[in-house]
Chain A
Amino acid sequence: MIRSGFILGLLLGIHAYLFAEGLFPKALSPRTANYDIRVRLDTAGNRLIGVEKIVFHNQTDNAIVDLQFHTYLNAFKNTASTFFQESNREFSLIDLDDRPMEEWGWVDVLSVETKDKVDLLASAQYIQPDDDNKEDQTVLWMPLDKPLLPGDSIVLDMLFEAKLPKAMVRTGYGSNHYYLVAQWFPKLGVYEGKGDRYEVEGQWNCHQFHSSCEFFGDFGVYKVEITVPKGFKVGASGLRTHMAEDGDGYVTHWFVAEDVIDFTWTAFPDFVEVNDKWKEVDIRLLLHPAHVKDSNKYLIPIKEAMAYLHQHVGEYPYPTLTIVDPPFRTINTGGMEYPTLITGGCIYGMPDGIRTTEVLSVHEFCHQYFMQMISSNEQEEAWMDEGFTNYMEGRIMDAIYGEKHSVIDYPFFHTGNRERNRLRYTGMDNPKIAEIFRYGWEFPHGGFRDLTYSKTGTWLATLEGLVGLEVMDEILKTYFERWKFNHPCARDFIEVVNDVVRARHGDKFGEDMNWFFEQVLYRSDVCDYAVGSINVQEVGAYNGVFDTNNKKTFSSNKNNTTKNLFESKVILHRLGEVYMPVEVVVRFENGEEITETWDGIDRGKAFTYIRSSKVESVYIDPEHKIWIDINFNNNSLTKQPDTFPLWKHISEFFFWLQQIFQLGAALA
């Protein structure tokens, strides 16, 4: 009865928002799919009752004959969903045997009508565009009563009911009435016209909810009214314009978010709110009470990240950023990015030298650029957001906290972000398990995370090493300016790289950089350069008769009249399949150094020197510009190893082992 009254009230009492002006004077994006949503949270049943008005503009040259909606929450309806079938190993079906009915989640569309009151729901059905799993209900297909012509718009009134799951990942409720409400409303997929991304013909891009992938949506304006019981603190995408008590123990919060691809919100009575600011951006940190002392673990790196990205990529145009610190029990709703709202993760008592909260904060904020403003398809090309974010996270964290200390920082063990990310890729059991360029759910033998995140971040660092930081920044800025508030694909980023590199480096790397992407993106090969050997032999003076100053002179080693020379031959190997141009530094015993360049293409390369001084050491890529090299340790060879560093650590290890053995003896 409460539900009916609420719906009636909403339908009868639909009122216009007092948004006399938008947040931005001019639209930043095409605003293809726009949503007015009014939702009420029923905390007793963990349900949402929602009324949704959708205004969809056909901005393609195609006539659209149907609509496709994401109904993501149905992934949590049962273990037959594609999400659970794919995440078998992660969640273990065995653990879900005891899950009672009320802990599962779903979303039901109750009615859909056009402006002309045509019922579209009657012929709607769930489809499975990615697999044959008929049980999966995360894509709802709805034929239109008449085609939506190019340039036209359609307005839909939708009624839906959602049951939030007990949070296992991403979305749901936790104990003490914590709610992280993501992927909660039926949301249109992206209609790609001919020529958009890879489309030859126009069609919907609306994938099922896969366990390893995230989301893809179109830009629009969201106006959302959230009604929650009094006492709840609410955070959401966008800006809260006002809030008002309803007089029945509920409070309604009005939010508006413009030029975003999604809308997420959170509610929890116990949040402690901390407000901060970076330039004109209001930062709203919603902390769990246990983590109040850790607010700076969020705020400091976030503000640094804002400044860094502003300088090196582009402007963050939104007036707000909300950071949600989830309770420990529902930390699985953390570590996620939504438009102008990110969820972090913090554990009470975490030592300052372990910067997981900071890393997470920076990573999720970087997603505002790569995935939100540059809205690549996270399902088909996960590397385009996760890899770029991983790369920028490495740059930012290392800039703030130090290259070798940014993630873990203790005297006897420390590691930097970029090096840790590289090691996650190089440390894979099989780094060749798959190429990066494949749909996110098509990694049947594993490797999705390490390849899309770490390998992509690593080859972006390699690109930076090749072209230089300044040119890399220009690539990022150009990419951002060209493709913000749009949906680029791999081809688009490669085009930007080719344009910028050609302009700045000419033909230094050939006609274009396609050879680079061919190897790192479209193939699964690895890169590994190694110094094979340094061979030195003494060569005497040449024997025989020589013309010197128009006279014949005789030279013989027996006469010992000529200073001896040494022939040093350096052999280099390309052990991996990937080739990169490399620098090679050859050092002689007399201190002289020569820097050679090698295009890195042949399987082997030799450098020969005949000098009075022998070659002492050789180093391929001494500055580690080729981050994607799977083993740096074999990049160098020296004829005169200095074992001091080894003795230093061996003696330390020796001592600590003595103490451990002594402890054992004392317990004997």
Chain B
Amino acid sequence: MTFMLYLLNVVFILMIVGPLYTVFTHTLGDSLDLEAFRKGFDNTVWGDLMNVHGDAFAYLMDQAIIVFVLYWLLNLFLNGGIIMTTYMTGGFSSQLFWSSCSHFCFRFVRLSLLCILLHLIVAGAIYGTYYGIVQNWIEGTGDERILVRSAYAFVALHAFVGSILLAIADYARIRLVQADDKWVLKSYWKGFVFFLRYMFPAYLLYILFLSLFVGLTVAYYFTRTSIVIEGWGVLIPVIIVQQLITFFRIFFRVAKFGGLNELYAQKLQTVAS
């Protein structure tokens, strides 16, 4: 299942990168200035390219947005199968997977829309407060330290609250699948109550998977800046590492649902007993 998800990810990216590669080869492919990119980024080459051929790239970026939305919708659809597969014992069953995908699809769409709405409300409250601070600042006399430090604080607050909202949303999905809830509001409420009741293990487990999910990319970023790629001998291993990172990020996403499923089922069993 993880491999299938990885392949889907690759296919969707190819839909964008393929045409991008073609545009590059047609615009810059025969120029010796391409060599400037061997060591890294070159703003002169890039700037001239954008000045002359920027429109072509702009169209591709517009296309990329559409592809992203389609990918997001596809994953909405696949969530049902992923969660059911990690919930049931007995390994992967394609029949179970696809039937779960279609069974839960529209409920997951509604649940996701609900989560987005809640997130927008919370983000609005957080950044609305910051906007108020900015407006007061404009009328006042303080210097920009207030704005900058407040911005850091509010972004940190948003990250913290956002991670809680994401955790609740995932527990709501777990609940929806395990209990086969028809009403997403009920699932969300149950997920919220579960999170509150078992906040420490629930949040800790979630943060663990989130850290792995994000940490891989962050570790790659800081490592990558110290690697100089000037030949295929280095590039190919780097590409392999990149794809392994992508694969394992998908794996951690799947494992996360497995872990959350396990915790949710355990706690419910404890309550029942």
Which B68-118 residues have a C-beta within 8 angstroms of A? 68, 71-73, 75-76, 79, 108, 112
A426-B238 CB under 8 A given contacts A404-B42, A650-B21, A668-B76? no
In whole angstroms, how far apart are the Cα atoms of A422 and B24 in the complex?
23
B31 and A633 within 8 A (CB) = yes
Alpha-carbon gap, A81 to B155, bound state (A): 44
Bound CA span A213–B29, Å: 43
Q: Are B225 and A632 in contact (CB under 8 A)?
A: no
**Which residue from B25, B43, B229, B250 sits with its C-beta under 8 Å from A419?**
B43
Interchain CB contact (< 8 A) of B253 among A328, A641, A653, A666: A666
Taking CB as reference atom, which chain B residue is nearest A647? Answer: B235
Residues of B within 8 A of A634 (CB): 31, 52
Q: Is B30 an interface residue (CB 8 A)?
A: yes
Contact at B68–A631, with CB atoms within 8 Å?
Answer: no
Question: Are A644 and B41 neighbours in the complex by a CB distance under 8 Å?
Answer: no
> What is the chain B residue whose CB lies nearest that of A619?
B32
Say yes or no: is A412 at the interface (Cβ < 8 Å to chain B): yes
A414 in contact (CB, < 8 A): yes
Please tell me if B246 contacts chain A, counting CB pairs below 8 Å. yes
Q: Are the CB atoms of A290 and B143 closer together than 8 Å?
A: yes
Given A290-B143, A636-B32, A645-B38, do A349 and B235 touch, yes or no (CB 8 Å)? Answer: no
Of A14-22, A505-513, A656-664, the stretch lying at the interface with chain B is A656-664
Question: How many residues on chain A are close to B (CB under 8 Å)?
Answer: 63
Report yes or no: B32 in contact with A419, Cβ–Cβ below 8 A: no
**Is residue B249 within 8 Å, beta carbon to beta carbon, of the partner chain?**
yes
Given A645-B34, A646-B34: A633 in contact with B25 (beta carbons within 8 A)? no
Which residues of the other chain, A, contact B64 by a CB distance below 8 angstroms? 657
A414 with B43: in contact, given A637-B30, A655-B246 (CB under 8 Å)? yes
Q: Which of A642, A659, A665, A666 contacts B34 (CB 8 A)?
A: A642
Indicate if the CB atoms of A617 and B32 lie closer than 8 Å. Answer: yes
Cβ of B242 within 8 Å of any chain A Cβ, yes or no, is yes
Within the complex, which residue of B42, B51, B79 is in contact with A631, where a contact is CB–CB below 8 Å? B51
- Interface assignment of A416: CB less than 8 Å from any CB of chain B: yes
Given known contacts A349-B148, A654-B13, A666-B253, is B143 in contact with A638 (CB within 8 Å)? no
**A638 & B250 in contact (Cβ 8 Å cutoff):** no
CB B4 to nearest CB in A, in angstroms, measures 13
- Give bound CA distance, A404 to B47, whole Å: 13
User: Interface readout for B2-15 with A: 1 if CB under 8 Å, 0 if not?
Assistant: 00000001101100
> Which residues of A from 607 to 638 have beta carbons under 8 Å from B?
617, 619, 622, 624, 630-638
Q: CB-CB < 8 A to B27: which residues of A?
A: 633
Do A665 and B242 touch across chains, with their CB atoms under 8 A apart? no
Of B45, B75, B143, B235, which one neighbours A633 at CB under 8 angstroms?
B45
A651 to B21, CA, bound (A): 10
Decide: B24 and A646 in contact? CB cutoff 8 A: yes
Task: Tell me whether B273 is interfacial, beta carbon within 8 Å.
Answer: no
CB distance from A318 to the nearest CB of B (A): 31
Q: How far is the CB of B202 from chain A (nearest CB, A)?
A: 17
Question: With a CB–CB cut-off of 8 A, which chain A residues contact B238?
Answer: 651
On whether A419 and B148 interact (CB within 8 A), knowing A635-B33, A650-B21, the answer reads no
Asked if A661 and B32 make an inter-chain contact with CB atoms under 8 angstroms apart, the answer reads no
Q: In the complex, what residue of chain B is closest to A414 when comparing beta carbons? A: B41
A661 close to B38 (CB less than 8 A): no
Nearest chain B CB to A636 CB, angstrom units = 4
Question: In the complex, are the beta carbons of A632 and B166 less than 8 A apart?
Answer: no
Q: Let me know if B44 and A664 touch, CB within 8 A.
A: no
A646 to B17, CA, bound (A): 12
Q: Does B144 contact A (CB under 8 A)?
A: yes
Residue from A289, A419, A641, A653 having most chain B Cβ neighbours under 10 A: A641
B141 near A175 with CB under 8 A, answer yes
Q: Are B31 and A649 in contact, CB atoms less than 8 angstroms apart?
A: no
A643's contact among B25, B47, B225, B246, by CB below 8 Å, is which? B25
| A636: B residues at CB distance < 8 A | 31-33
B272 sits at the interface (CB 8 A)? no
Does B255 count as interface, using CB distance less than 8 angstroms? no
Residue-by-residue, is B189-233 near A (CB-CB < 8 Å gives 1, otherwise 0)? 000000000000000000000000100010000000100010110
CB distance from B146 to the nearest CB of A (A): 9
- Counting chain B residues whose Cβ lies within 8 A of the other chain, the interface size class is 35 or more
Contact B37 A420 (CB under 8 A): no
Please pick, from A414, A426, A641, A661, the residue contacting B13 in the complex, using a CB distance under 8 A: A661
Q: Is the CB of B21 within 8 A of A412?
A: no
A189 at the interface (CB under 8 A from B): no
A592 to chain B, nearest CB (A): 16
Could you tell me the distance in whole angstroms from the C-beta of B53 to the nearest C-beta in chain A? 9
Known: A633-B45, A644-B231. A638 touches B37 (CB 8 A): no
Q: How far is the CA of A650 from the CA of B9 in the complex (A)?
A: 16
Residues of the A chain whose Cβ atoms lie less than 8 Å from the Cβ of B12 = 661
Is the C-beta of A563 less than 8 angstroms from some C-beta in chain B? no
Any B CB within 8 A of the CB of A648: yes
Is B28 located at the chain interface by the 8 A CB criterion?
A: yes
Q: Tell me the A418-432 residues at the B interface (CB within 8 Å).
A: 419-420, 422-423, 426-427
**A619 cross-chain contacts in B, Cβ below 8 A:** 32
Q: Which residue of A lies closest to B52 (CB)?
A: A631
Interface status of A348 (Cβ within 8 A of chain B): yes
List A contacts of B245 (CB < 8 A). Answer: 655
Contact call A651/B32, Cβ cutoff below 8 A? no
| A176 proximal to B (CB < 8 A) | yes
Query: Using Cβ atoms and an 8 Å threshold, which residues of chain A touch B140?
Result: 175
Find out whether the CB atom of B68 lies under 8 angstroms from the CB atom of A664.
yes
Tell me if A648 and B38 are in contact (CB < 8 A). yes
Residue ID in chain B nearest A640 by CB atoms = B30
A662-B143 in contact (CB<8A): no
Contact B144 A347 (CB under 8 A): yes
B148 to chain A, nearest CB (A): 4
Any chain B CB within 8 A of the CB of A329? yes
Given contacts A348-B143, A633-B28, contact A648 B47 (CB under 8 A): no
| A1 interfacial by beta-carbon distance below 8 Å | no
Let me know if B126 is at the binding interface, CB within 8 A.
Answer: no
Inter-chain contact B20/A423, CB cutoff 8 Å: no
A632 and B33 contacting across the interface, CB-CB below 8 Å: yes
Q: Which of A348, A426, A652 contacts B144 (CB 8 A)?
A: A348
B49: CB under 8 A from chain A? yes
Name the B residues within 8 Å of A632 (CB-CB).
Answer: 33, 44-45, 48
Kindly provide the distance from the CB of A507 to the nearest chain B CB, expressed in whole angstroms.
Answer: 33
Contact with B37, one of A328, A419, A648 (Cβ below 8 angstroms): A648
Contact partners of A347 in chain B: CB under 8 A: 144
B262 within 8 A of partner (CB): no
Chain A CB within 8 A of B180 CB: no
12 new A-B contacts, CB < 8 A, other than A632-B45, A636-B31, A651-B239, are A327-B143, A328-B143, A348-B144, A411-B225, A631-B52, A653-B17, A654-B242, A657-B64, A658-B9, A661-B71, A662-B246, A666-B253
18 examples of A-B residue contacts, CB within 8 angstroms: A411-B40, A633-B48, A636-B32, A641-B25, A642-B35, A646-B37, A648-B38, A648-B235, A649-B41, A650-B24, A655-B245, A658-B242, A659-B249, A661-B9, A662-B246, A664-B71, A668-B72, A668-B76
Q: Ordered nearest first, which 10 A-B pairs have the shortest CB separation? A: A645-B37, A636-B32, A328-B144, A665-B75, A415-B43, A423-B47, A655-B242, A668-B75, A175-B141, A411-B225
